[in-house]
Amino acid sequence: MGISDHYAITCQLHTSPLHLANKLRLARQLKRNVNDLLSDFYSKSKEVLDNITPLRTITIKGISLKPWYNESIHEARQRRRKLERKAISSGLEVHRQMLAEQTQATCMVHMINSSKTSYYQEKLTTADSKETFRIISSLVNYNADFVQFFYSKVQMIRQGFDASDLHDNTASPDLDRPVPHIGSFQVQTQKEVDKVIRSCVNKTCPLDAIPTALLKNSIVLSVVLPTITELVSKSLSTGVFPNELKRALVTPRLKKPGLDMRTFSNYRPVSNIPFISKVIECVVAQQLDSHITRNGLQDDQQSAYKTGTRIETAILRIKADVEAVLDEGDSMLLVFLDLPE
C-alpha cells in the first residue's frame, strides 16, 4: 500500500449536452443499383427528346368510317332514319307501314353482313401471315386465350429447369477434362458499349425511352453513353437485370403459312424487347461465345448459333457425306427430326 500526501476532492458539475447544428451539403450516390441507373437513363433520354423534339399539341382526326361501309348502306340508313323520324313525329299508321316496308325491303343487317364478308374475303386472299393475324385479331378477341396458352408453356419450361440437374456434366460427354465455368462477366468500357450499340439494327420497341435511330446519333449518344455503360457493367457484375427491362410486347405469328389459325400451338410468340435489353444481351452473348470458342466447347458438327456457320453449312456437309457413301456403293438412311418448340 502506498501513502499519498493529497486529499481527495469531490464536487458536482451540472452540464448540458452540446448540440451541434445540422449542416447540409451536396453529395452523389455512387453506389446505385441497376434500377436507379435505368431511371437515370430514362431521365436523360427525356431531356434529350425535350431539347430536340419538344412536346406540342396536335389534332387527332375523328374515327373514320369502317372500310366495308359503302354508299349503298349509307343511302339505305338515311332513308330508314328519315322514315323513322316521320313515323314518330306524325304518329300515323301509314307512316309506320312505310317504315316497316322499307326495313323489310332493305334488310340493313343483311347488307352490312354481306359487305363485311366481301371485304374481308378479299383482304384475306392477298394477306400474308402477319397481316392475316392482324385482321383476325381485329375481329376476334384472342388476346386472353393467347396469353394463357403461352403462359402455360413458360410454366412448363420452368418446371423442367427446376426438375433437371443443372450441375450435370453429361452435356459434354466427349470432353476428357472438366468443363470450365465462367466465374464472372467482364465489365464494359464506353468504347465497347458504343461499338455494340452501333452494331445493332435500328429497330425500336414501343417500350423504348428514345427511338433507336436517334439514340445512335453522336450528340445524343455522348450524353447517355456513360449511363448505359454503367448500367451494363453493373448488371454484369451483380447478376441483376433491371425489372423494367424484363417486359416485352409479344405478338403471335404463324409458324408456317396455311396452318390452322384457330390452333394456338401453330403460333410462335415473337417478343419485341427494349433496346437496352438487346445491348445487354449482345454483350453477354459476345462473352459467352468467346468463352465457348476459347475452351473448345462447341461441337464440330454444330451449325446453328455458331459464328461463321449457317443452314447452308449443314446442307453442304450432309450433301458431302451422302455423296461419299454413294461413291463407295453403300446405302444410306437419312432421318430428319423436327422437334416441337
Q: Which of these, 216, 218, 219, lies nearest to 196 by C-alpha position?
A: 216
Task: Report yes or no on 112 lying in a domain.
Answer: yes
Which parts of the chain have pLDDT scores under 50? 171
What is the DSSP secondary-structure string of 128-140?
-HHHHHHHHHHHS
- Contacts of 264 by beta carbon, 8 Å cutoff, 6+ apart: 145, 146, 149, 252
CA atoms of 297 and 67, how far apart (whole Å): 57
Residue 18 lies in a domain: no
Predicted local distance difference test score (pLDDT) of residue 339: 58
Q: Which residues pair with 250 in a beta bridge?
A: 271
Quick one: pLDDT at residue 284?
A: 93
Contacting residues for 200 by C-beta, under 8 A, at least 6 apart: 212, 275, 278, 279, 282
Strand residues in the chain grouped as ranges (E)? 249-254, 267-272
**Inter-residue contact 297 to 179 (CB < 8 Å):** yes
With left for phi above 0 and alpha for psi between -120 and 50, is residue 319 left, alpha or beta? alpha
Distance CA 243, CA 230 (A): 16
Residues facing residue 270 across a β-bridge: 251
Whether 222 maps to a domain, the answer reads no
SS3 62: coil
pLDDT digits (tens, 9 = 90+) for 276-312: 999 999 999 999 988 888 888 877 777 777 777 777 8
d(CA 229, CA 149): 37
State the total domains in the chain.
Answer: 1
Q: Is 121 within the bounds of a domain? A: yes
Check residue 164 and give its pLDDT.
61
167 domain-assigned:
no
Output the CA–CA distances (angstroms, integers) from residue 310 to 232, 282, 290, 322, in the order listed. 29, 19, 18, 19
Task: List pLDDT tens digits, range 50-85.
Answer: 888 888 888 776 666 677 888 888 888 888 888 888
Apex 198 CA angle, 239 and 288, nearest 5 = 35
Distance CA 253, CA 266 (A): 8
Domain presence at residue 119: yes
Q: How many residues does the chain have?
A: 341
Determine the pLDDT at residue 141: 60
| pLDDT given at position 193 | 94
Whether the Cβ atoms of residue 271 and residue 246 lie closer than 8 Å to each other: no
Decide if 97 is inside a domain: yes
Element (H, E) at 145: helix 143-163
- Give 118-136 pLDDT, tens digit per residue: 888 888 888 777 777 677 7
Give the Cα separation of 186 and 341 in Å (integer).
32
In a domain? residue 243: no
Q: What is the pLDDT of residue 4?
A: 59
Each residue of 22-52: b (16+ CB within 10 Å) or e? eeeeeeeeeebebbebbebbbebbeebbeee
List the domain range (segments joined by +) for residue 125: 71-129
**pLDDT in the model for residue 275:** 94
pTM: 0.62
Going by C-alpha positions, the residue among 156, 169, 138, 5 that lies closest to residue 67 is 138
